Amino acid sequence: MEKPLVIAIDMGGTNLRAALVAREGRIVARKKESTRMEEGAQRIAERLAGLCRALMEEGSGQGEVSAVGLGVAGKIDHLNGIVLFSPNLKALDGYPLAAELGKHLELPVVVENDANAFGVGENWVGSGRHLTNWIGLTLGTGVGGALIFENRLWHGDHLGVEGEIGHMIVQPGGPLCGCGTRGCLEAHSSGTALVRGVEEAVSEGRLVEGPLYEAWQKGRKGPDVVYECGLEGDEVALEVFRRMGWALGVALASLFTVLGIRHAIIGGGVSGAWDLFIAPLRRSLEEHTRMFVPEEMVALQSSLGDDAALLGAARLAFQDIAREA
């Protein structure tokens, strides 16, 4: 019997990333192309199928592909494999992506929210592999979340909104979030929040010179620029990262207290700025709960980086095979 393989897909607003993954969590081959959302859902499904076929070709002889796992940013109807709502992939709203891809490939396709896939990946072969209960956060344009309870991904009442830690309230009446609520974690701790923080400093005249100001004037506005300037000691950059760490600490302190658990794993592109927000995060954890002594609370950095959601999607596909068998 050939070794079982799966195809994993991480579908973002910018890139489609796909990989052929072996049972032990090893990536055998990978492909990447632009999402090009403007082409519409049907065309994207076709291109995704093409990517998958190319990977199957490449991996032939190494094992048999038995399932596809798909991580997508958005609210997912797991039962029917439908993307209900995806702010950054609007063309997919309501589209039965899993079913269509399955038809193209004649394979079972499981679909999961990308932050949840991150959680499953880190739990499988990443920073969470020795943990039982932990909170996952992905810091990117927004803040995604996942809950791993008793080594499994938590799905709550199966409403497709579980783990939305980015929309937890950390400061009632605080900054307006993209979701329409004030004071969400995402409004403090996302890449968007970092950029907005600098934007405000410029418009309020608190940032009037230096490399960060100059970058802003040239239209170089992004979390990466803020990070670089923070490393060089820019006070405004450091301040927005302090605020980010503070808000993460408020959210995690509350969740640790409520859940009686004490581990978090933080990933996503913006988590690369770890050294600028981890100390404020730890101070904030200490300030906002008395249920644990500071040393008992552990915030770990993702160990899978960009591949966390991809590997999580692979894991879900393997679990699907096991269920079918």
The contact pattern for a copy of itself, residues 53-72, with x = CB under 8 A and - = no contact, is --------------------
Residue 142 or 183 with smaller CB distance to a copy of itself? 183
Contact residue for a copy of itself among 31, 36, 47, 155 (CB under 8 A):
155
Residue 176 in contact with a copy of itself, rule: CB under 8 A? no
Cβ-in-10-Å burial (0-12, 13-18, 19+) of 256 comes to: buried
Q: Where are the alpha helices (DSSP H) in 11-69?
A: 41-59
Of the listed pieces 37-45, 93-101, 176-184, 272-280, which binds a copy of itself according to CB under 8 A?
176-184
Hey, how many other C-beta atoms are within 10 angstroms of the C-beta on 99?
15
Question: Is 254 a residue that touches a copy of itself (CB under 8 A)?
Answer: yes
Q: What sections of 204-297 are H helices per DSSP?
A: 211-217, 223-231, 235-259, 274-288
- Regarding 157 and contact with a copy of itself (CB under 8 A), the answer is yes
3-class SS of residue 272: helix
Q: Establish if 91 lies at the interface with a copy of itself (CB under 8 A).
A: no
Q: In this complex, which beta carbon is closest to a copy of itself, that of residue 122 or of residue 162?
A: 162
- Closest contact distance (angstroms) between CB of 30 and a copy of itself is 31
Backbone angles phi, psi at 160, to 5 degrees: 80, 10
Identify the residue among 94, 156, 233, 294 touching a copy of itself (CB under 8 A). Answer: 156
291 binds a copy of itself per the rule CB under 8 A? yes
In this complex, which beta carbon is closest to a copy of itself, that of residue 231 or of residue 291? 291
Residue 85 touching a copy of itself (CB under 8 A): no
Lookup: tokens for 11: 């579908």
Amino acid letter, residue 106:
E
Q: Tell me the sheet residues that pair with 137.
A: 145, 266
Beta strand 109-113 with 82-85: parallel, antiparallel or unpaired? unpaired
Reference 230, options 201, 261, 262, 257; nearest CA is 201
* Residue choice 1, 106, 130, 172 for contact with a copy of itself (CB under 8 A): 172
* Angle formed by the axes of helices 223-231 and 274-288, nearest 10°: 90
Interacting residues of 157 by C-beta distance below 8 A, sequence separation 6+: none
> Binding to a copy of itself by residue 162, rule CB under 8 A?
yes
Q: How far is the CB of 160 from a copy of itself (least distance, A)?
A: 8
Closest contact distance (angstroms) between CB of 284 and a copy of itself is: 9
- The verdict on 130 binding a copy of itself (CB under 8 A) reads no
Q: Where are the alpha helices (DSSP H) in 73-112?
A: 97-105
Q: Considering the rule CB under 8 A, would residue 301 count as an interface residue with a copy of itself?
A: no
- Which residue in this structure is represented by tokens 């039965």? 96
Least Å distance, CB 33 to a copy of itself, is 32
Dihedral class, residue 106 (left if φ above 0, else alpha if ψ from -120 to 50, else beta): left
Pick from 219, 260, 293, 295 the residue near a copy of itself by CB under 8 A: 260
DSSP-assigned letter for residue 3 = P
Q: Which of 44, 262, 281, 307 binds a copy of itself (CB under 8 A)?
A: 262
Angstrom distance (rounded) from CA 4 to CA 264: 32
Q: Could you list the residues that contact a copy of itself (CB under 8 A)?
A: 132-133, 145, 147, 149, 154-165, 167-172, 179-181, 183, 250, 253-255, 257-262, 287-292
